[in-house]
Amino acid sequence: MADVIEVSKLTKLYGDILAFDHISLSVREGETFGFLGHNGAGKTTTIRILTGLNRPTEGHARVLVYDIGSEIATAKRHIGVVPELSNLYDELSVMDNLSIEYIASF
């Protein structure tokens, strides 16, 4: 099976704060991947980078065939994220929530 997510030597600095330093990982098609670490290890920042909500300081990452640096808009069309906190609208139906999330991702 091919790698569908590939992270290579990714580093993120928030000013002087080193969020993480040269992490590399790969996820294969169909694989369930657990991304674990202590508080502040950089899990959320990594996911934010892979979903285009943040930029790495160094390194590269790819989602499917799309480079998250140069092709993030296209990559986002293939990414679904369920965040730690719910961002659903209680007053909308499931279908309406899905439609809004779909539109918002573009």
Ligand X SMILES: Nc1ncnc2c1ncn2[C@@H]1O[C@H](COP(=O)(O)OP(=O)(O)OP(=O)(O)O)[C@@H](O)[C@H]1O
> Which positions touch Mg ion (CB under 5 A)?
43-44
- The CA–CA distances, whole Å, from 85 to 23, 45, 96 equal 25, 15, 19
- 38 or 94, CB closer to ligand X? 38
Q: Is 57 in the site for ligand X (CB under 6 A)?
A: no
> Strands 58-63 and 3-14, how do they pair?
antiparallel
Q: Is 42 in the site for ligand X (CB under 6 A)?
A: yes
- The CA–CA distances, whole Å, from 60 to 14, 47, 71, 96 equal 17, 13, 12, 35
Distance of alpha carbon 67 from alpha carbon 74, whole angstroms: 9
Among 3, 25, 27, 43, binds ligand X (CB under 6 A): 43
Q: How far is the CB of 101 from Mg ion (least distance, A)?
A: 20
- 37 or 77, CB closer to Mg ion? 37
Distance of alpha carbon 49 from alpha carbon 76, whole angstroms: 11
Q: How far is the CB of 10 from ligand X (least distance, A)?
A: 12
Residues that bind ligand X (CB under 6 A): 14, 17, 19, 37, 39-45
